[in-house]
Amino acid sequence: MPDTDLDMGGDLRPLHGSAAAAVLLMLFSEDEAAQILSRLEPDEVRQLGYAMYDVADVEIEEVNQALDQFVNKAKRRTTIGYGASRHIRGAMHKALGPERADNMLARITPPTRSTKLGMLKWMEAGEIAAIIENEHPQVMAVVLAHLEPPVAADALMRLPPDVHEDVVYRVATLGPVSSEALDDLELLMASGTPVTRKGGTSQRGGTSEAAAIMNNIRKDIEQRIIKALSKRDKIVAQTIEEEMFIFDNLIDMDEKNMGALLRGVDTELLVVALKGANEMLKAKMLGCMSQRAAQSITDEMEERGPMRLADVIDAQKRIVVEARRLAEQGTIMLGGPGDDFV
């Protein structure tokens, strides 16, 4: 629900996207509005709730503007995405037969987030931690793996420190979890009834998810967990560290530290790495160089033409390795969320 300003014209106050949505929602009956709200995420419901109070005294002209915006957006939408899964499955079945089609669809259907434990989205981190703090670390790991990384990190930090490393390791190495086990976890979260069954069909967790959680915890806790993980499984610890800091994260560096990093990076490597960088990071890096050096790199990228994705990723990883090395030496500070400054 993006908060883009509406051009209301005249003396009308500008409405944001959530305010315009709130105006529309207020025009529906309670039952109709409830049906819409039931399909939204907790943050969206919260945002709309605030907006509905803000637009309680909305003027008729503003209502008309909100309706016009809705109509204009609706006209630009197609119906191709509605019922896409059903349409694709039906076409595959007719073309290949049910058995072959199901085998094919099992390989190509994008993974979907489990709808189990849906109530977690509506719970506070402290409440979640209080429910699972006496459970087995594997249960803790499964629950954290079903949370958004910031909430999972908050819940993790509220758990006893002596289980932190074990829980993160279990998130990183989490295998399939059965529907029965997820049903038991739902019962646990809803009533505190202990978990009794185990199994495996729903895939969650992995080093990427563990890294996302680690990126949202305090620096001192992060360092303690990584140190403990390194003793337990060096490969898992290294993989998590690599996924915690990627090339795009370099945008969090200030100009002074960015400049220090770039001075130690070979121009040839930088040309390849920037070829696949997002525009904001590319502009920031080039802005930390002299005008002549930036123009030279820009010209080189244009002359090179298309580059192999594998080469770009490798170049970006090598720059990240150099950044981490300089940070460990104290030559630069990487900055960004989770870093503590004194």
Residue 202 has pLDDT above 50, yes or no: yes
Fold: same for 120-242 and 247-329? yes
The pTM score is 0.52
Handedness of CA 200, 204, 208, 213 (dihedral sign): negative
For the chain, the C-alpha Rg in angstroms (whole number) is 25
Give the model's pLDDT for residue 167. Answer: 93
Q: Domains of the chain: which residue ranges?
A: 17-76, 120-242, 247-329
- Can you give the pLDDT at residue 164? 95
Tokens of 320: 């990240």
8 Å CB contact between 64 and 8: no
Q: How confident is the model at residue 225 (pLDDT cuts 50, 70, 90)?
A: very high
Q: Is 123 left (phi over 0), alpha (psi -120 to 50) or beta?
A: beta
Q: Please determine, for residue 199, whether its predicted confidence score (pLDDT) is greater than 50.
A: no
pLDDT tens-digit series, residues 135-161: 888 888 988 888 888 889 999 999 999
- Does residue 300 or residue 123 have the better pLDDT? 300
pLDDT tier at 183, thresholds 50, 70, 90? confident
pLDDT recorded at residue 163: 93
* pLDDT for position 13: 56
- Distance in angstroms (rounded) separating the CA atoms of residues 102 and 309: 32
CATH architecture of 120-242: Orthogonal Bundle (1.10)
Residue 198 scores a pLDDT above 50: no
| pLDDT for residue 2 is more than 50 | no
Is the distance from CB of 120 to CB of 146 less than 8 angstroms?
yes
More confident residue, 232 or 247: 232
Tell whether the model's pLDDT for residue 342 goes beyond 80. Answer: no
Under CATH, which number does the domain 247-329 receive? Answer: 1.10.220.30
Two tokens, residue 127: 């409440």
Q: Which amino acid is at 52?
A: M
First vs last C-alpha separation in the chain:
37
Confidence check: pLDDT of 102 > 50 = yes
Count Cβ atoms within 10 A of the Cβ of residue 44 and give its class: 0-12 exposed, 13-18 middle, 19 or more buried.
Answer: middle
| Of 20-34, 78-92, 227-241, 301-315, highest mean pLDDT | 227-241
